[in-house]
Structure 1
Amino acid sequence: MAVDSLFETGRSELALVILPTSAADDAAAEAARSAGCLIIEVEHVDNDAGPWCGKNLPGTVQGCGHWAGQTPRHVRIRSDRDGVYFVAVADLLLRSSRVRSLMFAGSMPEAFAGNISLFAARHGYQVLEFGVAKLAACGRSHATEPLLSLDQRVAPGLAALVLIDVQNDFCAPEGATGRSGQPMVMIDAAVARIKILLAAAREAGLFIVHVRAEYGELFRSVGSPYRFPLSGGREPAVWTASAADLSHGARVPKGPAEICLPGSWGGEFVAGIEPRSGEAIVTKHRFSAFIDTGLDSLLRANGIRSVILAGVTTNCCVESTARDAAMSDYHVVVASDCVAVKDHLRDLHDASLESLGLYFGLVRPSSDIVAAWVEPAVAAKGT
């Protein structure tokens, strides 16, 4: 199948949202269709309950939901009157259609308007004043064509280098992982290559994001990283309450179990990979750098469409971040020799890279990525 048929281009970056209170006639919808706009027709459920239970339960006959309309680029959303369901599902529809601006036809209830304002600010959408003439004049855009090659997916201005958990507790011999006594040759080698990759990215002018883990009692819940003892396994502990059999109440004592505590040496970045002025720092409290961090908003605000991932560990925080990045519609490139695990878990590293390459992104050695930055620079100097 041709790329153009997979990623339809030449569509407007504007969506027209038609509210139940709209007096807009067919001319508005026709102008939006002619301009290639996404049209979202909103209807409200017939009661004031929220969208997640009772009569409004998604999937029930009269509940909240969203469906494709009868014409191309037409969607129907049945939402609660406050717009809670609308903002929960709209971003996927908008970003899949490469929409950047919204225009609402009809008056918005106060609560709906408030939720839309927060939604637009969080996801980087511009809200425009309604007008049929504006719809007719918005035209079509080719600004969001897909990034086809590795060179495009690592290009400055489009890509960000995202470094995952390159911190003392995970990477330094004196850190929590190193103190276990288990060999870390792979991690040592990856850290050395990350320094080279980071230097090249800085020279090329890439947007840099340093992700650091910060754990501890304040953030502890079922999914928070914390070690629970395990008998007979490859590791002496599992890493979340979700993965642990808690029926006997067994826990590792707090001291040995804690890792990357706020303000600790273990939570600091490895020497030589410290952030510089103008480089973003994102603090995460779960495995994925996208969960409860604002990373998605940060990337969108800076025009980033592709992420290059490096760091530790391959099968846990790197893979979790890569999966969420791909499902958030970023291109993903994993620097295969700049991610690592403890040596005895090498098979998990290999399996993770194979899975990532099959389903979520390009898996390439850092030399290929650096070459994509260096060769254009060398060519430019020769002209």
Structure 2
Amino acid sequence: MNKPCLIIIDMQKGMADQAAGRRNNPQAEDNIARLLQAWRKAGAPVVHVRHISRSSTSLFAPGQSGAEFQEALTPLAHEHVVEKNVPDAFINSALERWLRVRGLNELVLAGVSTNNSVEASARTAGNLGFNTIVVSDATFAFALRDYAGVQRSPDEVHAMALANLMSDYATIRDTDSVLDELARALHQ
């Protein structure tokens, strides 16, 4: 049995910048670090996704410190790194091929932002037939004005993105339940 693959999306220094805006789940980085530590201890596969913007004024432009991984979540030399320049980690990145070649069908997604890169990547993963879990407290969203002009809180944006995913694309779990499932899977 293959171990599940942890995919950490866009946990770059720019996401911690005040310019990114008001967000929810202040414990998300700690939960992502807990997941990463457990995956490394289990010898399970890890993929780090990094957004590289096409805009020279972006926090995530090549060469900007915002494009660098957060220090606590920096990939190890043997961990796979995917670079993307659109929200979806599967687009123009060869991620699907990398997973298929290794027979990895169980994916656990964490990172930012819930309603953008996490949701886009989870939708594609689900559509491609991967068994996908999104870790609700290891993701976060930012406040956003909706199409009608109503300001939505980070919690509202986060909750709606998770609701969108749980209908057809992914299972939603919290960090503790994912860690429990990983421990059970390793002892089978």
Counterparts of residues 30-49 of structure 1 (less than 5 Å)? none
* C-alpha separation in 1, matches of 2:123 and 2:3: 19
Contact 2:23 2:154 in 1 (8 A): no
Choose which of 300, 323, 332 in structure 1 pairs with 2:123.
323
Partner of 2:73: helix, strand, or coil?
A: coil
Q: Structure 1 residues 349 and 162 mapped into 2: Cα distance closer, same or farther (>3 Å)?
A: same
Contact 1:161 1:201 in 2 (8 A): yes
Report whether the alignment pairs 1:204 with 2:42.
yes
Partner of 1:358: 167
Residue correspondences, number: 179
Report whether the alignment pairs 1:367 with 2:176.
yes
Structure number with greater CO (CA < 8 Å, separation at least 6) is 2
Give the superposition deviation at 1:183: 3.2
Q: Structure 1 residues 161 and 376 mapped into 2: Cα distance closer, same or farther (>3 Å)?
A: closer
Partner of 1:279: 79
* C-alpha separation in 2, matches of 1:345 and 1:373: 29
With normalisation by structure 1, the TM-score equals: 0.44
Partner of 2:22: 183
Choose which of 8, 13, 21 in structure 2 pairs with 1:168.
13
Q: Structure 1 residues 301 and 216 mapped into 2: Cα distance closer, same or farther (>3 Å)?
A: same
Ranges in structure 1 where 5+ consecutive residues have no aligned partner: 1-154, 218-253
Partner of 1:149: none
How far does the alpha carbon of each residue in 1:134-181 deviate from its partner, in whole angstroms, 9 at most, with x for none?
xxxxxxxxxxxxxxxxxxxxx7x24211010000111x2xx2xx235x
Partner of 2:139: 339
Contact 1:168 1:270 in 2 (8 A): yes
How far does the alpha carbon of each residue in 1:185-218 deviate from its partner, in whole angstroms, 9 at most, with x for none?
52x311111000110111122110000000124x
Q: Structure 1 residues 376 and 349 mapped into 2: Cα distance closer, same or farther (>3 Å)?
A: closer
Counterparts of residues 1-383 of structure 1 (less than 5 Å)? 157-170=2-15, 172=16, 175=17, 178-179=18-19, 182-186=21-25, 188-217=26-55, 255=57, 258-342=58-142, 344-375=153-184
With normalisation by structure 2, the TM-score equals: 0.88
Q: CA RMSD in A?
A: 1.8
Contact 1:216 1:259 in 2 (8 A): no
Partner of 2:149: none
Contact 2:106 2:130 in 1 (8 A): yes
Identity %: 28
Partner of 1:272: helix, strand, or coil?
A: helix
Q: Structure 1 residues 316 and 205 mapped into 2: Cα distance closer, same or farther (>3 Å)?
A: same
Q: Which runs of 4+ in 1 moved over 4 A?
A: none
* C-alpha separation in 2, matches of 1:354 and 1:376: 26
Partner of 2:64: helix, strand, or coil?
A: coil
Q: Structure 1 residues 371 and 353 mapped into 2: Cα distance closer, same or farther (>3 Å)?
A: same
How far does the alpha carbon of each residue in 1:286-345 deviate from its partner, in whole angstroms, 9 at most, with x for none?
010001110011101111112110000001100000011111111111111101012533
Between structure 1 and structure 2, the one with the greater Rg is: 1
* C-alpha separation in 1, matches of 2:177 and 2:61: 35
Q: Structure 1 residues 263 and 200 mapped into 2: Cα distance closer, same or farther (>3 Å)?
A: same
Contact 1:158 1:303 in 2 (8 A): no
Ranges in structure 2 where 5+ consecutive residues have no aligned partner: 144-152
Specify the code of the residue in structure 1 equivalent to 2:11: V
Q: Structure 1 residues 329 and 185 mapped into 2: Cα distance closer, same or farther (>3 Å)?
A: closer
Give the superposition deviation at 1:373: 2.3
* C-alpha separation in 2, matches of 1:313 and 1:179: 14
